[in-house]
Amino acid sequence: MKNIKIFGLVSSLVLLASCQEEFLETYPTASLSQEQVSAAVAVNPDAAKGTLLGIYQQLYARGSGGTTAQEDFGVHLQHMNLDILSQDMAHLGKSYNRQRSISEMTATVNPDDNFNYMPWRFLYRIINLSNLVIDGLGGDQAQLTTNVQKHTMGQALAARGWAYFYLNHLFVNDISNLTGPSVPIYTASDQLEQPKSTVGEVFNQAVADLEKAEVLLEGFVRSDKIEFNQDVVRGVLAYTYGAMNNWTKTYEYADKVVNAGYGKMSPAEITVLGPDDTVGGFNDVNAHQAIMWGVTVTSSQELASLFTWWGFMDPFSYSYAAVGNHKGMDAGLFSKFRDDDIRKTQFPNLGRGLVAAYKFYNTTAQAKGFRFFSGPQVNVDSDAHYMRSDEFYLLKAEAAAELGDEATAKTTLKNYLSDRITDVSYIDALSGAALQEEISTQTRLELFGEGKSYFLMKRQRQSRTRGANWLDYKGETFSHNDERLTYELPTNELLFNPNITDQN
């Protein structure tokens, strides 16, 4: 009975914290003390998972951005918005007004728009919940004595570092200016409103959290892919160092992930090769070894497609993507596919533009011959993936090229593309800027719709031009530091945080 009571106390406190309505929540450390958490994990190791439940729920829960909007469903909403803002995902239809203000880039210059509020609320919820767990274990400098304590602390630090990585990108126009203003840093659950930190300070906080998490998660074997493990942490570190243009560390961490044993997704996993191909669709995170991080969705959760990433992206589901709110690949980017590239088949001619219908699709649609509206309206059971190992083959090649090691960059890129492009010998003739551009292009083609192109644009300080299939600003070029490509600090933060009075 004692075990059950302690487990319930810790879980309830974390879940209660995640449901508060204040804009930027702070909680006294007394709400979740070191003794409570330490006692819980000492008598029942399963309680450690309970302390982290509130954090992981925010990644996919409807309303984690603090609104009732149908678009408010965690990190996958941000992946869609960021792909649009990166200019890689063209908004091909405006039915039902969904994400129209993102495509038109009116939301990102209006601090009153909820599209600015949702990522702020979502990410700071993760930070605040992480701080509750960290404080409950005695703070991030605590001397932890058991593996359960170390692994619990490691996951909380990983979540906090990941959130700061995102905040620095989403609310800062130019991440290359490390002395420029960014967002507040909170490292304890009882801190009151903080002023802005610099871009460099936020990146340094992310790195510090992630490097501590990497050590603490040594030997941790997770029970579900939604949990941070050491490899996922190393992936986030590779991205963070890349954003800082520390290419030596980027290469180091990308290489660690490449050699971690996940392999890469096969052609049969990334596109429909025929009627007997049943392993694709990105709809089952456990069916793909290369998917390192994601959430398993079951029909018992009763997720209506109207409130999911699938409803907004999958043209076969009974939702917005099927009824005129199409999103497809930018025509200029699509033109960069080589004729012998198997990934071109991800975009079948269905009369709806360059929609990746054979990359992301619901299992029900496949069973019914890819008939429109054949996917579910309720009880969506397609999973959500957040990271796959393929990303780090490409990031490794990118870092090698930046370091001047063109031989490694070419070999890494050729090996990766060898089962996607029939003849990769053209890469041998590339060097300098041409090689770097090819790596960037292949990264964008491979990871379309997965929310990673925005970070590539930022870390490479790129400019992108919208193709002919856009409804808005077609032919216009946008620089990585264009104010329209990042969110505004929400009005509520300016109203209730006396230490912040202006936008970045």
Distance CA 334, CA 349 (A): 13
Domain annotation covers residue 346: no
Q: Are 299 and 379 in contact (CB under 8 A)?
A: yes
| Amino acid identity for residue 125 in this structure | R
| 478 phi/psi in degrees, rounded to 5 | -125, 130
* pLDDT at position 48: 67
Tell me, yes or no, whether 451 lies in a domain: yes
pTM for this one? 0.92
Q: What is the CATH number of the domain that holds 27?
A: 1.25.40.390
How many angstroms separate the CA atoms of 12 and 468, rounded? 52
Cα separation, 450 vs 142, in Å, equals: 36
Residue 8 included in any domain: yes
Nearest residue to 167 (alpha-carbon basis) of 199, 194, 190: 199
Per-residue pLDDT of the chain (504 residues; tens, 9 = 90+): 223 222 333 343 344 333 333 333 333 333 445 556 556 666 666 666 777 888 999 999 889 999 999 899 999 999 999 999 999 999 998 888 889 999 999 999 999 999 999 999 999 999 999 998 998 888 989 999 999 999 999 999 999 999 999 999 999 999 999 999 999 999 998 899 999 999 999 999 999 999 999 999 999 999 999 999 999 999 999 999 999 999 999 999 999 999 999 999 999 999 998 887 888 999 999 999 999 999 998 776 667 778 888 888 988 888 888 888 889 999 999 999 999 999 999 999 988 899 999 999 887 888 888 888 887 777 788 899 999 999 999 999 999 999 999 999 999 999 999 999 999 999 999 999 999 999 999 999 999 999 999 999 999 999 999 999 999 999 999 999 999 999 999 999 999 999 999 999
CA 371, 374, 377 angle in degrees (round to 5)? 155
Q: Which two tokens stand for residue 151?
A: 């692994």
In SS3 terms, 140-208 reads as CCCCCCCHHHHHHHHHHHHHHHHHHHHHHHHCCCCCCCCCCECCCCCCCCCCCCCCCCEHHHHHHHHHH
Q: What is the pLDDT of residue 37?
A: 58
pLDDT given at position 46: 66
Residue 124 within a domain: yes
Q: What is the per-residue DSSP string for 402-469?
A: HTT-HHHHHHHHHHHHTTTBS--GGGGG--HHHHHHHHHHHHHHHTTTTT-HHHHHHHTT-EEE--TT
> Looking at the domain assignment, is residue 372 inside a domain?
no
Question: Rounded to whole angstroms, how far apart are CA atoms 320 and 93?
Answer: 10
pLDDT at 14: 41
CA atoms of 479 and 16, how far apart (whole Å): 42
Contact 213, 161 (CB under 8 A): yes
The dihedral sign for the CA sequence 342, 347, 351, 357 = positive
Determine the Cα angle at 75 with ends 72 and 80, to 5°: 80
Torsion angle, alpha carbons of 196, 198, 201, 203, to 10:
100
Q: Judge whether 58 lies within some domain.
A: yes
The whole domain housing 443 covers 2-266+387-496
Identify how many contiguous H helices and E strands the chain contains and give both numbers: 19, 6
In a domain, 364, yes or no: no
Q: In 10 A of CB 80, how many CB atoms?
A: 21
Tally of domains within the chain:
1
Residue 307 lies in a domain: no
Q: Are the C-beta atoms of residues 129 and 24 closer than 8 Å to each other?
A: no
